[in-house]
Structure 1
Amino acid sequence: MKTNILNRDFYQPIIWEGDLDDDCTAKWAGLMLRAEWMDEDYWWWCVYDMFTEDEEQIDSSNEYEQRFIGGKVSREKAEEIAKVYLKNKLINTETNPDFYKISDFITDLKVLGASPIESMKLLKNKFNISLSECRDLVFDSKDWEGAREISENLTQEFLNVGAEIADKVEFIDGRVSSITFDLTKDVQEDIQKQNNNSFWSRIKPKFK
């Protein structure tokens, strides 16, 4: 088992056993996930922490007003809750930098479903480092290879589109580097035209 600060093997896939159309169970990283067909299309699901003394119930469909229709939806919700639970435990567990490296933290966060942006935020809060450094640590990690290019391309595309209707545009090396919108115009135009000609209503059609 790969070592992590929680001493739980959450690197393995969640595998459900039993009848997926009726009653099934998954044991994963010290947790037990259950899903059971109750009535018509309504399903019940629950997640337990088997590492606690009383096998604590983490969450269940009983805590929600909505009904979970179908086994697939119920299993996916149980898996989501299980990963969020372990991610929160990972974030709140004190760490020794000599034992638990930042690169390991980034890997574990991704396994537990964190996005690059969420990983940057959690790095900043947990290790008290600057956001720009967090950005480099995440984008330069083996876990998010290629994510920097995707992010930068998306940002550039937004700038290029926004430049068509921006009040001020700045360029560096022939590329749009900054756009500025005078949002007070929206208020003035709304009063004059009595419509919702806001910044977002102006820019949304550009992405269709």
Structure 2
Amino acid sequence: MPSRKLSKPEQISLRFDANEGLVAGVDEAGRGPLAGPVVAAAVILDDMKRIKGLNDSKQLTALRRERLFDEIRAHALAFCVAEASVAEIDELNILHATMLAMKRAVEGLRLPPHKVLVDGNRLPKIRIRAEAVIGGDATVASISAASILAKVTRDRICVEHELHYPQYGFGTHKGYGTAAHLAALDEHGPCAWHRRSFEPVRVAALRRACLEE
């Protein structure tokens, strides 16, 4: 199905027309990191309770994301946050694991949407009419809201896991392949939270195994 670009988030209505009903926005966080789950969110906004300042979560400060996170949860008609685990990422690959997390998020909504708008150019396998929107996290309010819920949730998970694996610094780099993270991988080898199917992790695991022989 072709993708399309839409106008600013504040100009997007909850309903495209009277016959379309509820529309859910879907986005993910965590496709690129070397560790941790991929998290997806689905959000149905309330057209009567507009949320100002929605945007692509990556364009917002951490403080602004946290504030919007609470506002979205308080005022959305429905929302659901779901994930695909590290084991599922390694088994399925990151693309299919992302689609699985999105599917879980949509199916977990307490209100069934009539249509789903998904950020990007791929669609999860769901029984609801869906459309991919390239750049939707910056142009469609419900997708922006979903991107914020997914991002904040995943960041919090990373902070929690730093308590279990303090040597890697997950709370700082959130699992991305920064110089500090790669150096920690080289020194300590991967932990149970790393994605073994990702090349830097696989290489680090092999190097560690050679050192221990």
- The TM-score normalised by the length of structure 1 is 0.25
The structure whose Rg is larger is 1
Structure with more relative contact order (C-alpha pairs < 8 Å, separation 6 or more): 2
Using structure 2 for the length normalisation, give the TM-score.
0.24
Which structure shows the bigger proportion of residues in strand conformation?
A: 1
